[in-house]
Amino acid sequence: MARILANKENVEAPSPAFPFARIKDKIPSVSAGTPVNESLYGDMNQYFEKQSNLVNKTLNDKAESQLDGFEWIDALLELVIKRINTQFKSESAAEANSWTSVTFGNGLYVAVSAGGTNRVQTSPDGIVWTARSEAEANAWQSVTFGNNLFVAVSSGGTNRVMTSPDGITWTARSAAEANTWQSVTFGNGLYVAVSNTGTNQVQTSPDGIVWTARSEAEANIWEDVTFGNNLFVAVSNGGTNRVQTSPDGIIWTSRSAAEANQWKAVTFGNGVYIAISVDGTNRVQTSPDGITWTAKAAAEANTWQTIIHGNGLFVALSASGTNRVMTSSNGEVWVSRLASEDNAWGSITYGSGQYIAVSGGGTNRVMRAI
């Protein structure tokens, strides 16, 4: 069987490590015939070994054949499961902008950009994108959806907040302070944004229109904020305590990060908070409560930029590295995945049954899971 398989163009020739051969990558982003890590497509060794055992024992009428049949089916199912939510496809952005953030709400994907002519793009399916005019030509860094309103924040400009009820028509809003706002989220009836500079590095709003400055726990370089399990959690890429938490978005408390990394993004899902970093020995940290954090190994030592939880899976993206996607069902063990293109992926969201990511560069600046 191995000799037959070796003649297939999508199968690697047998070797001591994989005597029953191994599937090759067929995604165009990798040169034809390049074998990929078996964790992407399942260990073909196991699959064909179980199949060989089944055939041998069945032909020889051995009693163990039924058990081997179940083992072969289990190996096949494992291969199928490992393929789920791991294949990504490139899509064309509406314009070749430096897209920084994407979110999903009310049946629509909405992305914002730090530059370009039209700094908003929308899509009902993640495939066809339409350029939209922003409220002001600012460097928009983050967008979220909550309470039937899209809200975006900017790191510069006169009015550093803009809102839209439909993702199409946007209105400029005054931020609480002229800070370099990096991230915005919604939870428990409140919009919360964090900044990496300024006197008050947190601002909150009940409606997205009127914003109030709040004191951060420490004057760090706050990069991202999320909400989950009745708690706001923000992470920083510098400072003594690089995590801060708040039950109401108003009063914040410092928390020690698992390691003094440059933490870039944080999300919540499946009862756990997970943050990712652009550097450090362990570029993932997890916490069941947002207070106590544990370091975890990333799939690869990449500059991880963004993370989301959806459909029972955590998905993180990187701006560099060989495999710029990694996934995990629990945040403990991570598996490398191939991105559709080697772009500097900066943001990912989940909605309507698919993951959508955007990039600040590259030929095709949108990627979706298929």
Domain's final residue, options 83, 117, 140: 83
Distance from C-alpha of 299 to C-alpha of 320, rounded to nearest angstrom: 13
- 200 and 114 fall within a common domain: yes
- 66 and 117 fall within a common domain: no
Candidates 141, 134, 151; CA nearest to 181 is 141
Asked if 300 and 326 touch (Cβ cutoff 8 Å), the reply is yes
- Helices 44-59 and 65-83 cross at an angle (nearest 10°) of 160
Predicted pLDDT at 28: 43
Residue 152 belongs to domain with CATH number? 2.120.10.80
How many domains does the structure of the chain reveal?
Answer: 2
Predicted pLDDT at 85: 42
Which region among 93-97, 222-226, 336-340 has the lowest average model confidence (pLDDT)?
336-340
- 118 and 195 fall within a common domain: yes
- 50 and 73 fall within a common domain: yes
pLDDT in tens, 271-308: 999 999 999 999 999 999 999 999 999 999 999 999 99
Domain's final residue, options 83, 103, 125: 83
Domain's final residue, options 63, 83, 103: 83
> Token pair 């706002």 is at which residue?
181
Average pLDDT over residues 311-330: 94
Structure-model confidence comparison of residues 79 and 179, the more confident one: 179
Predicted pLDDT at 76: 64
- 169 and 316 fall within a common domain: yes
Question: DSSP label at 229?
Answer: T
- 75 and 168 fall within a common domain: no
- 322 and 350 fall within a common domain: yes
Average pLDDT over residues 127-138: 98
Number of CB atoms found within 10 A of residue 345's CB:
29
- 78 and 99 fall within a common domain: no
pTM for the predicted model, two decimal places = 0.79
- 214 and 235 fall within a common domain: yes
- 214 and 346 fall within a common domain: yes
The DSSP code sequence of 104-173 is EETTEEEEEESSSSS-EEEESSSSS-EEE--SS---EEEEEEETTEEEEEESSSSS-EEEESSSSS-EEE
- 79 and 92 fall within a common domain: no
Task: Please give the residue range of the domain that contains residue 10.
Answer: 2-83
- 68 and 98 fall within a common domain: no
Predicted pLDDT at 6: 41
β 181-187/304-310 pair status = unpaired
